[in-house]
Chain A
Amino acid sequence: MIILEHVTRKFGSFTAVDDLSMTVSKGEVLGFLGPNGAGKTTTMRMISGFLMPSSGKITVCGYDVAENPVQVKQHIGYMPEVASSYNDMTVLSFLNFIAQARGLAGSAKEKAVARVVDNISLNNVLYQPIETLSKGYKRRVGLAQALVHDPDILILDEPTEGLDPNQKRDIRTLIRRLREDKAIIISTHVLEEVEAMCSRAVIIDKGKIVLDDTPRALLSLSETHQTLFVLIPGYQKERAQTLFTEMQQIILTDIKQETPEAFLFTMQTKERESATADVVEALHRQDIKILDMFVEKGRLEEVFYAFTSPDRELKGPMQ
């Protein structure tokens, strides 16, 4: 539904987005990641028709953004990063205005506004001027504004920024519910959100895509992916230690006394492939008790850092 072909955007001599190509299809929730200034907002602004690319082509729902901006905008719901509503209006009059400007009228308008108010729980603040609302509510009005016409494409620039954990959860649930018949692009700095609601994660840096895969695949790039933690009773520490040192599949990296009676063994698996079954079996054979055990899925944060930090040339992305 969204196709970007060699899109470049320059501001003076600064290149914000550099020859970027990607496709987003229906049903996808794309998490758009990158450090500040990487070009996320610029890209989203170009897709939504607010900015024109310096070169390249963007097609949304079959329409070229440069040639048919109005048609494209009809299909898109866009929630900007900053203020997305008129402060002097009440929530209801603002949503009515947006619905009307998007061509809804009469009972269709009433229905659309009621639906979105209900979905985003704005019932309590309908008659309040937007400037008197808390930051969280303002963001929600921004989201409501983007959803009122039930668009095919949803572009959300940091939708959960400034929300409390409960509100964040509500938004995530909402997005999961919406994703079936839409293409959604979400930019965020909160990496666990990507795992929670995105089907695909794109990391961009300096205007270029550096990674594009499922959140799960990105996690497997993490250094700590498949790190195994096993809690062993103190009296069996020596035996466990010998066993782990002898095992070929793993490298024992740390032993820590968790409680007076228990030790936590940390081990990395070679090739970052699961060795859990082998470890469990070996422990059983030796009659060593497992008090607790867990496997690290990996941290997106590490992947993010490895691919976008300024000194990554020195360190290099892993493997």
Chain B
Amino acid sequence: MKALEVLTKREFVSYFTTPVAWIFLMIFVSLSGLLTFYAGNFFERGQADLQSFFLFHPWLYVFLIPAVSMRMWAEERRSGTIEMLMTLPVSTAELVLGKFFAAWAFVGVALLLTTPVWVTVNYLGTPDNGVILMSYLASFLIAGTFLSVGSCLSACTKSQMIAFVLTMMACILLTFLGSDALIDAFSNVAAEKVMKLFQSFGFLIHFLSLTRGVLDVRDLIFFVSFSSVFLFATVIVLDHKKAV
């Protein structure tokens, strides 16, 4: 597992050598703050919690995660460094995990930078910090799941742009699967059972249940298994489509 550590570290450090990382951090922190206070009516609600903060996270991720994940493999392919990387004595799985963990840790840094919001709400009142911690975990998990999707799609192409657009579409779809709007739209067409099945694949429902502070193992299993499937898919894509 030593190699995994080395790979993760290099990838993580490499994020900060590009301006994209700093722009990402800036946009994430400022947008999540703005949305909380303006769109989320943080003050008007008069409640000491961070519901209005976390509510927007999936929507921020839909646009921002693809920006993080797009370069994972597409850039290696375009510049040709994939050849050097894949002739190192490490398994494809280690390479995929290394990149994934690095990206996930990077998003983790972005989340850590939002702690002023948490400080604020604690200053203003006495929120349930357990729920907030759980919500942070939920937010981190959903980010990881989006990243795994992004990893797979980035491995499919040489172009970061294509990787970005595809990942964004996929993330929107996955988020929407659970939304009421989609359920309503199809409720006349599909049987209730089918809709329930679709809904269970939606991210939002699992995310919301976690942010309510209920640690349901099923939600955890959902995110972890979903990520694993896409990371495994990344390994398969890379093994079959290494060259060019």
Chain A residues near B (Cβ < 8 Å): 11, 45, 48-51, 69-71, 73-74, 76, 78, 80, 82-89, 97-98, 100-103, 105, 142, 145
Contacts and interface: CB of A to CB of B under 8 A. Distances in A.
Interface of B: 2-3, 6-7, 10, 14, 17-18, 79-81, 83-84, 86-91, 242-243
A50 B242 contact: yes
Contact of B83 (A45, A70, A102): A45
Contacts of A51: 242-243
Given A88-B14, A101-B3, A83 B81 contact: yes
B6 A84 contact: no
A84 B89 contact: no
Contact of A73 (B18, B79, B89): B89
B40 to A, nearest CB: 37
Contact of A97 (B6, B83, B243): B6
Nearest to A145: B84
9 contacts: A45-B243, A49-B86, A49-B87, A51-B242, A83-B81, A84-B83, A85-B81, A89-B14, A103-B2
B89 A102 contact: yes
A159 B222 CA distance: 49
Contacts of A83: 79-81, 84
A85 B91 CA distance: 19
A77 B211 CA distance: 50
Contacts of A89: 10, 14, 17
Contacts of B3: 101, 103
Contact of B86 (A50, A74, A97, A102): A50
Contacts of A73: 87-90
Nearest to B80: A82
B81 A86 contact: yes
A82 B83 contact: yes
B80 to A, nearest CB: 4
A101 B7 contact: yes
B84 to A, nearest CB: 5
Nearest to A155: B87
A101 B84 contact: no
Contact of A74 (B14, B17, B89, B243): B89
A288 B81 CA distance: 64
Given A50-B242, A51-B242, A89-B10, 14 more contacts: A49-B87, A50-B87, A70-B90, A70-B91, A74-B89, A78-B83, A83-B81, A84-B83, A86-B14, A86-B81, A97-B6, A98-B88, A100-B2, A101-B6
Contact of B87 (A48, A87, A88, A100): A48
Contacts, number: 73
Nearest to B16: A88
Contacts of B14: 86, 88-89
Contact of B88 (A45, A71, A88, A101): A101
Contact of B79 (A49, A87, A103): A87
Contacts of A50: 83, 86-87, 242-243
B89 A70 contact: yes
Which residue among A74, A82, A86, A105 has the maximum number of chain B CB atoms within 10 Å of its CB? A86
Interface centre among B6, B86, B89, B90 (most CB of A within 10 A): B89
Contacts of A97: 6, 10
- CB-CB nearest 4 A-B residue pairs: A82-B80, A73-B89, A74-B89, A80-B83
A76 B84 CA distance: 12
A94 to B, nearest CB: 9
A47 B86 CA distance: 13
A96 to B, nearest CB: 9
B17 A88 contact: yes
B48 to A, nearest CB: 44
Nearest to A78: B87
A102 B80 CA distance: 20
Nearest to B95: A101
Contact of B90 (A86, A101, A145): A101
A51 to B, nearest CB: 6
Nearest to A75: B89
Contacts of A88: 14, 17-18
Contacts of B10: 86, 89, 97
A114 B58 CA distance: 48
Contacts of B81: 83-86
